[in-house]
Amino acid sequence: MEPRFLQLADVAELLNVSTSQVYHLVRSGELRGIKIGGRGQWRVERAEVEHYIERMYAETAAWIRENPLIADESVG
């Protein structure tokens, strides 16, 4: 059974980014996370990572629609 909560390093591995990038995502609120324990270690629920990925797919699709690729007429 997979753990419900992931450490920031685990999230970084899933997203193929650095741990500091994940820390920034969590601190900015872009990716929901929680601080637990006396030392306030960050954890991100696995479901939140999946929601974040889906949201990024949607945002990317919207960006692509708003910024269509224009063929370079000088090529060909």
* pLDDT per residue as tens digits for the range 18-67: 999 999 999 999 999 999 998 999 999 999 999 999 999 999 999 999 99
Q: Are 52 and 36 in contact (CB under 8 A)?
A: no
Phi, psi of 20 (to 5 degrees): -65, -35
pLDDT given at position 70: 81
Give me the amino acid identity at 71.
A
- pLDDT at 71 exceeding the cut of 90: no
